[in-house]
Every structure is written in C-alpha cells, then in structure tokens.
Structure 1
Amino acid sequence: MTRTTAFSSLLEEVHSFRAKHPDVRYVDLISLDIPGHFYGKRYPIEMLEKVAAGSPLKIPQNCVLLGQQGGLHAIGDYCFNDGDPDAPRRLIPGTLKIVRWEKQALGQMLISSDGTQAPIEFEPREVLARVLKRLAGRGIFPVVAFELEFYLFDRALKDGLPQFPHDPLSGDPDDQPNMHIERLSRFSEVLHDIVEAAQEQGIDANVITAELGPGQFEINFGHSADGLQAADWAAMFCRSTRGVALQHGQRASFMSKPYLHAPGSGMHVHISLYDEAGNNLLAADQQQPLRHAVAGCLDLLPHCMPIFAANHNAFRRYGAMVNAASRASWGFEDRDACIRIPESDARNLRIEHRLAGADANPYLVLAAILTGMEQGLAARREPIAPLNEDRTSGIDFAKDMLSAVTAMQDHEPLQQGLGSEFVMVYCENKRQDHLAFMQEINAREYRWFL
C-alpha cells in the first residue's frame, strides 16, 4: 500500500466515523507505554482529519518510558539528557472507535511509531512488530488468541483496600469463591456491557467465564492471524472494561494478585504457527517442532520474568494456589504448567502460555513468547520432561523483580530477539520502578520493627 493510498483509507475511516457519530467532538489518540498504561493526546476531530490526510503526528519520545506512576526515570541518556525530543507516530487503520463510558461521547484511536520513518526501538508495539516481521521473513505466521482474567471490586475503597463487589440481585458481597455459572447471571448487566463495549472497539470478545476468586471473571478473544491486532485487542479491552465497570458503580482491575487468599489473574496466550500455505508448522514431523518450540520458550522464560511479572505484586502469583506455576514447566492438558498443550487436531495444534500476569504488557508478552518459540525451532532441542511424566520437572526462575532484571539484562539471546536497546531500557525502567516502590514505609513495618 502506498502512502497516498494509506492516507486515503484513513480519511475514509474518519469521514465514515463522523457521519456515524456526528456528536463526537474529540478523539483520544493513544498508545501503550512500557508499564502497560495508555498515554496520548485528545484531538479535536477536525484536526484528526488533517492527520489522516498526512499532517505530522508527533508526541514526545520519552512518553514510552513513563514509570508505573506516570513519572519519568533517568535511563541512560533518555528523559533528562536528550532534550525530550518529539517522535513521529502514525494512526493505526481500523481502530477509530466510539467510547461510550465517558459522560460525553468520545472517539479513540490507536497510534504507534512502528511503520514510521523513525520508529522508537523500545516502544512495545514496535518491539512486537519487529519480531513478527522477522518471523514472516522466515515463512512463519502466528495465529494468536489472548485470554484475560480480571476482578470486579466495589467502587469505594476502605482504608485504601479493595472491597468485594456486591451481588446486584441480593446486595450481598460476592465473597464466596466459586465458579458457578449463576454468578454470570447475577453480574450479567455489567459483564454484557463490558463485552458490548469491547465489540464496539472492534475486539472479538466472546466467551465469559466465572473464575474461582470473589468477583473474578475471564474473557476470551477470538484467534487472529494478525499478532499486532491480537495484542491491540488485549490492551484496549483493559481500558474499556475499567470504564464500563465505573459506570456500574464497580472497579475492574487486572492486578495480578489482589487477594492473597484467592487466585491471581493471568494473561493466557494461545499461539499456533503456520507457513504461507496455511500448514500448521507445529504439527509437522510427528509434532517435533512443537517440542522444539516448547524447549525454546522454557529456555528463554527465566530471562523474561520482568515482562511476564511486570511489577512487585505480580510475583505474588507464582506458587501461591490454583494453577500458578512456580517453575518453568510444560504439559499436555495440564493447567499447572506454564506452557499447556491443549488437546486439538493437527490443524489447530498450539501452545497456551499461562505464566504472565493479567497486568503485563500484551505486546511484550507476545514478543517474548514468539522469540522463545523462534529460537527453539532454530535450536531443535528436546524440552525437559512434561509434568504428565514427572510432576517435579521444571526450570527455576526469579521470584522478585531485582533478581529477574539481573537475569534479563545481559542475556544475549533475548537481546538478539527483542533488541539490545529495548532490553536495556526495559530493565532500567523496572529497576527504577522497584526502587520507587520501596520508598514508602507501610504500617506492617511499624508493627514489625518499631
């Protein structure tokens, strides 16, 4: 597609949106930063037309480097020694959608530096775009589906702590962990609005499951042959779900481990690999490529923990309870494993990577998994024994952020797969976030040490 054709298509998208939603005056142009939060600008829709027609769209490069709380960390020469330069962004076609969870109708559209003349090497979407381009050059085409678990809480916190959501029918707190389908009926109004809002964003959100935790649910997305689109869906779903829940007097959170006594929330990623003819590469040669891909994922996993467990709280999931692995492992139809091989026919043979917390960055999670699969296919090594054969099988990984960063920062295969500049920036961002998190004395310290 030429630049002229691309601009023409974008203009048609904007014109169609304005005709369908004449009351919308502003559009949020948004992109995901390293911790997984959206940043961007709110544009008058008239100005969006100019951008769609080819006018420059620039946002400070260092927005990508924002810490967990939205501030900037000094990372190399970035942020405080580089003059805070602007960097080009582009509109992502097909993502201009209506936002109905605000008081006034609003539009939103994804933007990215990938595909521009000067992409930001450490932008999460650009990292994934590079991995997908490299795979395509080798004749490997992933099909991807995300699953996200999340919790609903009462909108009001008590002493800063989350409270169980109230059953809309009985008015009682939903404090009894269970997976009964009746919970879907009791919370149907908010859940159906969450799905409808997601579908308005173009997200193929479908199956809803009541999970074991109080107020915990899971949403499944359709499989997509566009890895960037699959990650876009996961990112946008988090944004829309939080907004819709607030409309219903509740909070939605993708926090990895909100309760110590209840299961954490995970981001499960299903991945198949196909060639240009549509053949499932993992199923060839009596599924030997599947085993090689699993071995690659397991080898790389201990060096990707800051991606899969993106914050201090996320490490609390591992080894806690209910399908939360404490070592890198795999197995057939085994939800205790980090990498599960669901039962399927040869056409749909896939891995399900279950380790990441629900609040991880979906672009980076997918990029890390694909890099592990790619390196495994190239090395053609056998994996460790599956859990079905040996319940003690597994590879240790770090259980705290600083140890995980140490394992990540100098790992050459990961630097080759995701980019050395990205690995440097990401590790320092996580280290600085961890140190900032520790700069507060909480009540427990006074109880223990005063």
Structure 2
Amino acid sequence: MKSHATTLLAEVRTFRQNYPDVRYVDLIALDIPGHFYGKRYPIEMLEKVAAGSPLKLPQNAVLLGVQGGLFKIGDYCFNDGDPDANRRLVPGTLKPVSWESQPLGQMLITSDGTEAPIEFEPREVLAKVLERLQHKGIHPVVAFELEFYLFDKKLDNGLPQFARDPLSNDADDQPNLHIERLSRFSEVLDDMAQTARDQGIDITVITAEIGPGQFEINFGHLDDGMRAADWAALFCRSTRGVALKHGYRASFMAKPYLQFPGSGMHVHVSLYDGAGNNLLAAHQQQPLRHAVAGCLELLPHCMPIFSPNHNAFRRLGGTVNAATRASWGFEDRDACVRIPESDPRNLRIEHRLASADANPYLVLAAILVGLEHGLEARREPIAPLNEDRSSGSDFPLEMLDAVRAMQHHAVLRDKLGAEFVDVYCENKRQDHLAFQQEIHAREYRWFL
C-alpha cells in the first residue's frame, strides 16, 4: 500500500504534468466566520510539502473576525505569542483555478489529522464528530443545497444592484421561479457548474429561486460527511470567482434584500449502520422521531452556528419557508427540520435553518450532534406542523442571546468540544460588538 506522502507526491506531480503553466497553488482553509485563509505556494515548494516538509501557518488565523481582525479570546492572539500550527494537505483537493487571470491551482489544508490539531478549527470540530459516530457504528450520508444571489458587479454607493438580464440588459428585479431565468443566465450558471465539477464537486439540480437573481444549486449525496462540507466550502469560493469573470457578483449573504427571500443552506442527512441499513427507518421509524427530537432540543443552542452574523438573523421569519421557531414536519418547507417523502432506504432529514453564509463544517457538525443526542436520549418530538400549525419552540433571534444560549450548554460543550464552544462564542460576541461600532445614516435621520 502506498504511503500517505507517496500518494500526495503523485497527486502533485500528476497535476504539474496536466497543468504545466501553473506556477503557484493557493493552500487554503476555512476560518471560523467561513472565509478562506492560506498561502500561495510555488508549485516546486508544494512538491516538498507533499514529500513531508513541514507546512505551518499561524494558529490564530482560524480566529479571524469577519473583517479579518483579531480579537482577544482568552489567551489567544495577544498573550500566546501568535504561534504557528502544523497543517497537512488534504488528498484529492489539488485542482485548477480557472477564474483567475493567470494559471493557478488550489488545495485544501487542515490541522485535523496532525499531531496537534487546532481544537477550534471548523474542519477539526467536524472530524471529531464524524470519528465518534463511526466508532458508534453510525455512518452519515450527506448532501448540501446552497442558495445565492447574483448582483451587478458595480455597487451603487455600497449597495447591491440587481443583476442585468443578458437578454434584455434590464435589471432582473422581478421575483419568480421561471425556468426561463436559467436560460437567460445560462452562460454564467453553466460556467459555475462546470467549474465546480472541475473542482471534483458533483453538481446536480440548478433552480431559479423566488428572489430576483436568486438561484439554488444542489450537490450529490456523499457517504463522506467531511467531503460533503468541503464541496460546500469550495463551491462558494469558485462561484464568487466565476461570477466576477462574467461581470456579476455572487453572494451567499443571508438576507441581501428585506423584501425578498433570504438564502439558506439546506442539509440532507441520513444515517446508516455498517451493513448499509437506514437507522432512521428501523422500528416503524421510531429512531427518526428520536433524531428529530434531538435536533429540535439543541437547535436553540446552536443558533450562532446556523445564523452566524447580524444579517443572518434578518432572514428568519417574515418571508416564505423561513421559520422563527424550532419545528418539524413531513414534506413541509416551513419547518426547520423537514422530512422529505422517500422510501425507507433513503429516509432522511432536511435541516433548513442555516443561512447560506454559515460555515458548512460547523453546520454539519451541529446537525449530527443533534441527531446523535436524539438517538441517545430517545425522546418523542413535539407535534409536527402537519398536525399542529402552531407547533414549535422558541429560539434566540439576536446574536448576544444566542451566544448565551450556546456557551454553557452541557451537551454542546461535550460533543463539539468545550474549547471550541468558548472560542466560537467569544468570536461571535466580538464580531457583533464590532458591527455596532459604526453610526449609520439612519441613526442621524432618526435622532440628530
């Protein structure tokens, strides 16, 4: 059997043969707010890393705020000497970058799987959850769906403008689900889909959503939850790049327009045992009910993950298919946890609460912890919306309340890691406070 280093080295050398014009490769990882950070490596140095040379980046790069600044979080950032931490290359993720002006490659890196992984790195948090489930004989199958908006490339005094319809050159300012919108924007959408496939991502269904310039792209189901989250993260990066190449901006912002629907991250999860049996379908679907109950119980305490910023809370309620209470239902898109119609083999939950700009590694980790907790606690869920339209439990609708609900929750501290929970909550608290440190024009209009 080939060693890990031998396999990586072969991947790099094959890439160099296939893309001889590429001189640099971006080594990238997702930080807590869901932005990529990393370094641009000469391809020759990448071969050395693949062969076993150390790859180190600052540990605290993971802690960056939304605007890239560092916050004082415990002893991190200002009292720890800003140490480096080892990273490793993620096999199978070295791919060409086609949206830049020069030939370029990119490859995922991570601290998970190193001798001293960073406890609060999103990929490491998910890795620990998946490993624990595997030891329990639980094997998730996962598929992400992501909604996003296209805007005109130029902003209007910092505000987004509707994307221009390529056919008429008019603003695409009408909300609709018309299939013709896929044809009118086919050039950029086809490029987004093909670029994603070039990254190894299985793109399936493309939908014109309700909002003007809003679309949804679905990914194939995977029996590797980490890879599914990798796909979601990489898709966001490539889609933004392709949009700019075509004269648009693509944004996964949760609520860019108050009067139109927000953009969500929908996650389909089914659970199987080692023999391939659907665990949720056993015993007249009783485990499904337990899993739903666990998701709903933890949901109010995971809101900083599902709604990771001030704008994401704007998405909740007020428009179609966005809940303001923790609820579930069969074939009901108003529910946070929807049970799509399927045969027993494919029985699954669809978790619909997270915003499109949430961190996919952390969203999946939180969902899986909810399912795990439910299967262990074996409680009955509240009534589904199909039986009672008022069914549901409250969850925080403001960031500081959400952080308080998350930080000291015993189950989350145990299953996601106490160090991660503390770091994440403080990062969100500091980001929220930093957001408030600016006086907007409306305040002058109201109070001057």
Match of 1:310 in 2: 308
Question: Counterparts of 1:205 and 1:46 in 2: how far apart (Å)?
Answer: 32
Residue 31 of structure 2 aligns with which residue?
33
User: Residue 119 of structure 1 aligns with which residue?
Assistant: 117
Instruction: Find the partner of 1:18 among 16, 19, 33.
Output: 16
Give 3-state SS (helix, strand or coil) of 2:236's partner.
helix
1:54-69 pair list within 5 angstroms: 54-69=52-67
Query: What corresponds to 2:248 in structure 1?
Result: 250
Letter in 2 for 1:116: T
Aligned counterparts, 1:34-433, within 5 A? 34-433=32-431
Provide TM-score, normalisation by structure 1: 0.99
Unaligned runs of 5+ in 2: none
Q: Deviations over 1:237-278 (max 9, x none)?
A: 000000000001000000000000000000000000000000
Give me the CA root mean square deviation: 0.6
The TM-score, its normalising length taken from structure 2, stands at: 1.00
| Residues paired across the two proteins, number | 448
User: CA offset at residue 382 of structure 1?
Assistant: 0.3
SS in 2 for 1:419: helix
* Cα distance in 1 for residues equivalent to 2:201 and 2:212: 26
Equivalent position amino acid for 1:344 in 2: S
Distance 1:111 1:228 in 2: 13
What is the letter of the counterpart of residue 262 of structure 1?
Answer: F
Amino acid at match of 2:97: V
Paired AA for residue 257 in structure 2: Y
The whole-number CA distance in structure 2 between the counterparts of 1:206 and 1:372 is: 27
Q: What is the one-letter code of the residue matched to 1:10?
A: L
Instruction: Name the aligned partner's letter for residue 271 of structure 1.
Output: V
Deviation at 1:320, TM superposition (A): 1.7
State the Cα distance separating 1:159 from its structure 2 match. 1.0
CA distance in 1, matches of 2:298, 2:103: 44
Give the partner amino acid of 1:50.
K
Query: What amino acid maps onto 2:186 in structure 1?
Result: S
Deviation at 1:58, TM superposition (A): 0.5
Does the residue aligned with 1:258 lie in a helix, a strand or coil? Answer: coil
Q: Give a deviation string over 1:189-218, Cα, whole Å, max 9, x none.
A: 000000011001101112100000000000
CA apart distance, 1:346: 0.4
What one-letter code is carried by the residue in structure 1 that aligns with 2:11? E
For the residues of structure 2 that align with 1:206 and 1:388, how far apart are their CA atoms? 29
Report the residue type matching 1:194 in the other structure: M
SS at match of 2:393: coil
| One-letter amino acid of the structure 2 residue matched with residue 175 of structure 1 | D
Q: Deviations over 1:395-428 (max 9, x none)?
A: 1000010000010010011101100000000000
Q: CA deviation at 1:279?
A: 0.4
In 2, the alpha carbon distance for the partners of 1:322 and 1:391 equals: 14
Distance 1:425 1:380 in 2: 30
CA distance in 2, matches of 1:393, 1:414: 24
* Aligned-pair CA distance for 1:394: 0.3
- 1:21-74 superposed Cα distances (whole Å, 9 cap, x missing partner): 000000000000000000000000000000000000000000000000011000
Distance in 2, matches of 1:227 and 1:114, equals: 14
Residue type matched to 1:397 in 2?
F
Q: SS in structure 1 opposite 2:394?
A: coil
Instruction: Report the Cα distance in structure 2 between the residues aligned to 1:445 and 1:106, rounded to whole angstroms.
Output: 45
